[in-house]
Structure 1
């Protein structure tokens, strides 16, 4: 299968290269038909270059340098992405060696051999000679680049098992090709200035050096604006688009115009023979210099114009890693053109492997934000401080001005766990508004964070989200835990929502009318007092959007009262107090026109049934779980065409997996007038179990299989409800009220319909799901894919009308990773876990045996001591004799305990040593594979050109000796 994937990737690259080559061949054919002399020059130089062994030596050096730059740096494997970032960084320096090696002989060799006069007397103009020479050099470079591309691509295809991004690799090499075209044209100027090959090589490197090193202008120029202008004039800025997989009009224009100006300068140099030495020689020299300067100014203006109006931009990557979601582009379009936004992003030079993908995505998206804003005439200024040191001035600026400080993360790199500090944050400003993201955690969508922050500072106001104060204590507080008070921290989901909304707690002490809040968030509303509960139901009827999480069994949050159980009065610290009244949950169900399967419970309450499903997509996750853990996933048994998640509603469209714990079910009433959309559905291997039997199962008194005798496929755990109720127009409310105001409802105008989401599970929003989302390595072995947090955020955004954020969350770029290395690491980790477990079992057995031996040896002595104690009580032995025996027992016990402690310490030390040894061996295996890849990637591509070069050398030698007598060969 892997071989097929590699072959398929190679075929895709071959097709792209073939299309490009056909276009180039069409240009050559056109040249051959219209400019015969130019074509003859092209053919002569191209054949001459590859008919000489020296050409293959240079080709070998070029392939060697590109392979070393691409695969040898430690960052390549540390980043674990199938990109050419390292080669992109070193490529300008490689070109400073390779391009002059091609261009130095373009004209200097003609002068040295005296064949320049022959070329100049041909029936052709100067353009034919220059363009023929240029296209010959371009053809030589193209052939070299294609060979380098093939070797690099094969290496990446093997490392990714055929899963690499062909579009990204092709576009990167297309960028290399454009860089080469521009540098070849500049190198030709150097060749036309001298007849010495060495001088031509040196001048070619010197003339190209300013463009190659322009990106370092900030280190030599104290003026930030001048440094920025110089940096943008080099090849690094326009090539950056190609390196990220984007083909842009501004980048293509830059390289084409630079090459055109340099070619015109070459034509001026070759044509100076017509006017040099004449009476108007100096005048003509100034005239042509003015022309060249005018062309340079035109090129600068054109490049600036296209860069600021970069209309055409195409993301050629297969994973769309360098493009913005449609909703993001729409948000940029809606920005106020008179309200500029400034983004200051700070990224440290040393970023752990876990954050490498986040860093890559962040840089890509920030640059795309800048380009998209320029195209739509919106002002988004991006100050990207990439590769900064922790002690640098930029790091000090980030800390002092924006509060972005280095964070410490425990990571495993180079065979050991290390505390590493990194900076990966951004600040967003617009007017007086400011939002800071201290760190982009690697599990959180980067584009969503950027869009949310930009939207917040751009509009200066946020929609209001009311958190209903229930027993869930989302805003934090204290609860009774037995006879003591327990402090409950603010739920981390509130902090997540506060980044986008103005979050307020609502105690429902007064009516809530439409317009007071954009949405309410009620978790376990059945725990509310009857009057508070009634106000929540009234708000729903009046059209206030509400997200409701009502759980029949909040298993992980025991201080939250289940739906069918009485709410206990906390009483005093000495106990006491009876049940407290709470809301009638069935009133809420009637308002939403839904039914919750269940049965009457105690004290007139209603106890919903629990949902079970026989499906576990994580075989390694077996302990402490049961079939009441409901994995909502399209791969669940009986799910067809992605029915687990509703594709009709924006909340769940595109979701892949949600985990629900001990949840209930919900369905629409048969006579409903509202629109009900099931959001989360189980498969066919699912059903319901009563609360009473479920508790017996959880307490180990019975099993689920014994208590369940039927299935209920396709149960809905969440439901979206919207529409007009028949009696809605009869209600009244004050639309201008404030939270807590005692007002009489008055809805004489513009009553909204019901809009709510009912979720029959509270444990679905456990803090652990936010932790896994931000830091997936917490459960790296399981590789959880839970999207509980995304589901909840989508729910709130749907209720408040912020649906563009839902679309942004759906845009997930696909990155190609080094699967071969990942598999080696995974195999090594599995071996480490298995062997560590064996050593741990041996340690436990050894300690247990030593403990049992000590207990056995002390048992007889202890029995004898007990017997003497009885005899001492009867007066049959003396007190001194008894004390001596006790002392003997204590001494023996202390000795045995010391021996046990020594045994435990030694065994523990052996366990730690063995663990280190097996981890070291595993790391050595991974490093060995990486070194083998490096050696193969660097050495193997050099063999074919060397072999061809040897063959060419041998054939030339044979041809030279054919007509020479044997006597002269001696």
Structure 2
């Protein structure tokens, strides 16, 4: 069964359940109130037996389709949601609902059938509920038409990958909105006997609920004193409209508070209808005025009960069900546990600022951020936790809200270079948040597209909620993660603080550890040692003592640092560097002593006071566009590698790597557990079948060969050895294998179990991997999760395992795959065109240079001959000067011609590239235009055809008993 059929069955199943519940409810009423059933049937059949009903149905389907798919924001967002229709739906309902309700009672009065209807053996409730059920069924049928057309459009655009749960929940919300507005519209119809007045009054009565969400642009978003209470009037009015309770449905969440709101408002309006239809019993009597005040008091009391109930359920929303297939609108279990364990005495305030015109690349991030913030607030309220969310959406970059973000929290629009509409341009993005609790403040200036939003929110909330953070100690080695000075050339170079440290500081207190003295257990929750072999022997021994003392430690040791050439490889001696060059070898730690303490070994050969680790290679690269830059020593640890055993490349035996997809190691080493060790070793990262190791010396020799790639390739053939482990965890107590500590450097408690993560590569934490995770996607679209691996490792060591689970909860959103494929193909053609034009330009320039050299060769030859004669003493100076001048002028002219030709070629290439990019963008716009046209016109045909058939059938029945002579 393909994805489209499965989606259709899922939606049909959900619709069938809803329709069965609706019909069962109506059937229960009809079985008790037969008059109500008769009224319902009469009005429902009468509406759809008239072609006018199909005209309104056609208009409804057309308007919903236009609102959903015509705005450019739908394609810019690139998500298979109905966000655009959600914004316009209340306004569409202000037209469509009065068209249904205006004739409910006004038509009866106009036709004079109201008295006949009131003489039926039925009470007022039967008439009101019968007419309400008929209008609700008419609206339900209209929604089904709209839902089917929307489903077909989204199915085509997503190629069967749409979220049917989100679609159903959204239309369920539309149904509740319609059910409420129909009840209010009926009040208007009961007040007048004129259809036009009934239509206008129906729209006016529903307008306050429809436009309440827009009051924020009219009233200041601040608290004012009202009857002794501090009230945010803007938020109060906004929450009273239909947009606020519908918001849950629009995000795929069915909540009890929203259902209670719509149900109670509809019930209040229906009771008002019963009062209006029943006033004939007491109007004009001696107690008429008294009864009017009596019923008005009843309505006011019912209004107070409805308002109180709505407020109660909103603050204690006990039932919330996320119907989306990927659970994109719900929180992970780890996040829910964290919220429930928060200190309810501290109020956490979240101020989130979301700008207008968010680029497509950040659309999913924006969608997820808004979803999760609302879920945070709902869950906190349900569990009695104090989390206040102030969400500022669709902010102009120069608005008051943007100024508030800058002045109060230093959140400003962040500029990103993005490729959109066939061109690369700089865009300013406002998508940040500030978290406050007491004196603690955490500011996220921008939610980057590659960072899980839920993790960023949870980490920030947890950080401000905690009175004390856990402490991480970073051992000072030649890596100098905390910043420092190094000799990378003839002059000293200052190193800034490594970005990974900044990332850790968002969650932990981070300090530098010098290891000039023993590290006492309990001071640090974990240590991080990067290239510890560069430590002096005394410092290195103190690190071993700390590991044996049970201090959780993350160790990164690289046989050949690829991205940090100033760091001494573990496979080479440490040499003192200065501006005068390299000096004498310096003592360094023997990494083998640390391996003994950890009960592990590494492939390689022993050197003098150091160990030459072998370097791992893997003949697998999932990125075609990277193959010209990468080599086999870029090890992509990937579960998708052909022949890979599931759960082994990225071990599913450890929570650090379970659920991860891909990491990248650069010129890494290989590690394995010592067979005689009693410690527990769990491999984390393992290469696939097409892998092996090359000795350090052979690798260096191959790099110096005339053809390094060919030399390395031959070494790889000789050194085939699959499944090399690059990282592992070490746990347990292996006292027998540990070296005996002595003197003042002995750990205070050597009996504590060892807990460590060992990674045979330090290039894992290169800043580029943070850029890949956070920065805009390029043509390669790398999916490496090095940063996630590092953070998971540290959290595992410190016991902050909830964050590991939160990082794994990465929702998948349904996107417009059809448009994506057109864009990918267009971008591919654009890249190919750019490459072709660039190649043609270079070839033309090279041909021009060769032609220039040919023209100058003859003159150069004559100059050389005259210079030779001059050395022999036989030369005509006048001839020599003339030839030299001719050569100089010719050379200058050809150089100028070449310059002009190069500029002309570059301009021509730039023009051709622009034409290709413009053509690519035209292709994308063309398919978008066709989607708009088909999505808005085709849904109108079914109701039109049905209306024509009904009209024709009606006309034929009218002509059945008429003689042919009267038909002339």
TM-score range, shorter chain: over 0.9
> 2:881 is paired with a residue of what secondary structure?
helix
Alignment of 1:673-712 (within 5 A): 673-699=678-704, 700=707, 702-706=711-715, 708-709=717-718, 711-712=720-721
Shift of 1:751: 5.2
Structure 2 unaligned regions, length at least 5: 224-231
- Provide the residue aligned with 1:418 in structure 2: 425
Contact 1:637 1:685 in 2 (8 A): no
- Provide the residue aligned with 2:774 in structure 1: 774
Shift of 1:91: 0.4
- Provide the residue aligned with 2:793 in structure 1: 795
Task: Select between 767-776 and 544-553 the one with higher mean Cα deviation.
Answer: 767-776
Distance (Å, rounded) in 1 between the aligned partners of 2:447 and 2:117: 62
Contact 1:697 1:703 in 2 (8 A): yes
Q: Which of 367, 379, 393 is the equivalent residue of 1:372? A: 379
- Provide the residue aligned with 1:634 in structure 2: 639
C-alpha spacing 1:404/1:604, structure 2 compared with 1 (3 Å): closer
Contact 1:103 1:204 in 2 (8 A): yes
Contact 2:573 2:585 in 1 (8 A): yes
> 1:451 is paired with a residue of what secondary structure?
helix
Q: Which of 577, 583, 591 is the equivalent residue of 1:577? A: 583
Shift of 1:610: 1.7
Shift of 1:728: 10
Alignment of 1:502-901 (within 5 A): 502-570=509-577, 572-575=578-581, 577-601=583-607, 603-699=608-704, 700=707, 702-706=711-715, 708-709=717-718, 711-726=720-735, 747=748, 752-777=752-777, 780-901=778-899
Q: Write the deviation string for residues 808-843 of structure 1: whole angstroms up to 9, x where unpaired.
A: 100001101100000000011111111222211211
C-alpha spacing 1:787/1:549, structure 2 compared with 1 (3 Å): same
Shift of 1:514: 0.8
C-alpha spacing 1:549/1:26, structure 2 compared with 1 (3 Å): same
Shift of 1:675: 1.2
- Provide the residue aligned with 2:324 in structure 1: 317
Task: Select between 955-964 and 829-838 the one with higher mean Cα deviation.
Answer: 955-964
Distance (Å, rounded) in 2 between the aligned partners of 1:771 and 1:706: 33
Shift of 1:335: 1.1
Alignment of 1:314-353 (within 5 A): 314-353=321-360
Shift of 1:346: 0.7
Task: Select between 59-68 and 323-332 the one with higher mean Cα deviation.
Answer: 323-332
Q: Write the deviation string for residues 145-173 of structure 1: whole angstroms up to 9, x where unpaired.
A: 01100101110111011111110111000
Q: Which of 62, 79, 82 is the equivalent residue of 1:64? A: 62
Distance (Å, rounded) in 1 between the aligned partners of 2:637 and 2:51: 65
Contact 1:60 1:946 in 2 (8 A): yes
> 1:473 is paired with a residue of what secondary structure?
coil
Alignment of 1:295-306 (within 5 A): 295-306=302-313
Distance (Å, rounded) in 1 between the aligned partners of 2:798 and 2:96: 59
Shift of 1:656: 0.8
Contact 2:422 2:827 in 1 (8 A): no
> 2:583 is paired with a residue of what secondary structure?
coil
Shift of 1:415: 4.3
Distance (Å, rounded) in 1 between the aligned partners of 2:455 and 2:760: 27
Alignment of 1:3-22 (within 5 A): 4-22=2-20
Contact 1:656 1:787 in 2 (8 A): yes
Contact 1:776 1:784 in 2 (8 A): no
Contact 1:10 1:154 in 2 (8 A): no
TM-score, length-scaled by structure 2: 0.96
Task: Select between 753-762 and 551-560 the one with higher mean Cα deviation.
Answer: 551-560
- Provide the residue aligned with 1:218 in structure 2: 216
What is the RMSD of the two structures over their aligned residues, measured on CA atoms?
1.8
Alignment of 1:462-501 (within 5 A): 462-501=469-508
* Residue 207 in structure 1 maps to residue 205 in structure 2: yes
> 1:265 is paired with a residue of what secondary structure?
helix
C-alpha spacing 1:482/1:400, structure 2 compared with 1 (3 Å): closer
Distance (Å, rounded) in 2 between the aligned partners of 1:332 and 1:73: 38
Contact 1:69 1:86 in 2 (8 A): yes
- Provide the residue aligned with 2:229 in structure 1: none
Structure 1 unaligned regions, length at least 5: 734-741
Q: Write the deviation string for residues 372-397 of structure 1: whole angstroms up to 9, x where unpaired.
A: 10011000000001011111111111
* Residue 168 in structure 1 maps to residue 166 in structure 2: yes
**Equivalent residues, number:** 955
Alignment of 1:135-214 (within 5 A): 135-214=133-212
TM-score, length-scaled by structure 1: 0.96
> 2:304 is paired with a residue of what secondary structure?
helix
Distance (Å, rounded) in 2 between the aligned partners of 1:242 and 1:286: 38
Distance (Å, rounded) in 2 between the aligned partners of 1:491 and 1:374: 39
Contact 1:82 1:156 in 2 (8 A): yes
Shift of 1:876: 3.1
Distance (Å, rounded) in 1 between the aligned partners of 2:440 and 2:712: 58
Distance (Å, rounded) in 2 between the aligned partners of 1:573 and 1:796: 37
Distance (Å, rounded) in 2 between the aligned partners of 1:763 and 1:220: 54
Distance (Å, rounded) in 1 between the aligned partners of 2:595 and 2:901: 64
Task: Select between 950-959 and 276-285 the one with higher mean Cα deviation.
Answer: 950-959
Distance (Å, rounded) in 1 between the aligned partners of 2:893 and 2:798: 72
